[in-house]
Amino acid sequence: MKVTIVDYNSGNISSVINSFNAVAGKKVNIKITSDLNKIKSSDKIVLPGQGSFKSCIDSLRNISGLVETLGEFAISNKKPLLGICVGLQMFADIGYEETETKGLGWIAGKVSKINSLSGKFKLPHIGWNQINIVKKSKIFKGIENNSHMYFVHSYEFIPNDTNVISATTNYSSKIVCSIEKENIFGTQFHPEKSDKIGLKIIDNFINL
């Protein structure tokens, strides 16, 4: 099985690579690439994201054909794709970080700044927070509710359809931290930085 981590110059993804290699085993071929043909021939794709919504979208679009290839993979061919942090946020129609920026439009919704309640809550939201699993999700198999995951973000994805939400976390408000829509999965938290529980989520995705 081929699992591809998309490398589109979105920041340091070494921890993503290391965690997938730690979990994968010999039966899984983990590749890190922006080569369109290798992405097309993959069984599963991981879309990481560090930095701002705009910078990540711009980086994706700077690689000719990449946005179209990812859309074909996830939307047309319905193959499993996991977005991490900004990788999840980019599923949205639009984001408002830095400036209004059009997203991939895979899941209707927007990405807005977390309400800090006039500074009562520090931004970015950094550190460990409990997640509340709100629907049965394939990537949460064997994960206990209220498990702690590691977060680093100032913006949140707000989907139009609440049925895609698989987990939330409480910070200044109830924040969407995981989604599942058919073959598309996303986590606002970083499973690759969330210790053994995070590795279990990666394992669940690989074994879909």
Active-site annotation holder among 85, 153, 156, 177: 85
Active-site annotation holder among 97, 156, 180, 192: 192
Active-site annotation holder among 56, 97, 180, 190: 190
pLDDT at 68: 98
Task: Please report, for residues 10, 41, 105, 143, 149, the alpha-carbon distance to residue 50 in angstroms, rounded to integers and kept in the order given.
Answer: 6, 25, 19, 25, 17
Distance CA 174, CA 115 (A): 10
Compute the mean pLDDT over every residue in the chain, rounded to the nearest whole number: 96
pLDDT mean for each 10 residues of the chain (208 residues): 94 90 90 96 96 95 97 98 98 96 98 92 95 96 97 97 98 96 98 97 97
pLDDT at 11: 75
Q: What is the pTM of this model?
A: 0.96
Distance CA 184, CA 161 (A): 14
pLDDT at 4: 97
What DSSP character marks residue 186? Answer: E
Tell me whether residue 190 is one of the annotated catalytic residues. Answer: yes
- pLDDT tens profile 143-183: 999 999 999 999 999 999 999 999 999 999 999 999 999 99
Please give the residue range of the domain that contains residue 48: 2-206
Q: Are 159 and 109 in contact (CB under 8 A)?
A: yes
**CB-based contacts of 202, cutoff 8 Å, min separation 6:** 19, 20, 23, 191, 192
Number of domains in the chain: 1
User: Which of 208, 203, 207, 201 has the alpha carbon at shortest distance from 88?
Assistant: 201
CATH number at residue 100: 3.40.50.880
pLDDT at 142: 97
pLDDT at 25: 82
Tell me whether residue 98 is one of the annotated catalytic residues. Answer: no
Sole residue written with tokens 């711009």: 58
Tell me whether residue 180 is one of the annotated catalytic residues. Answer: no
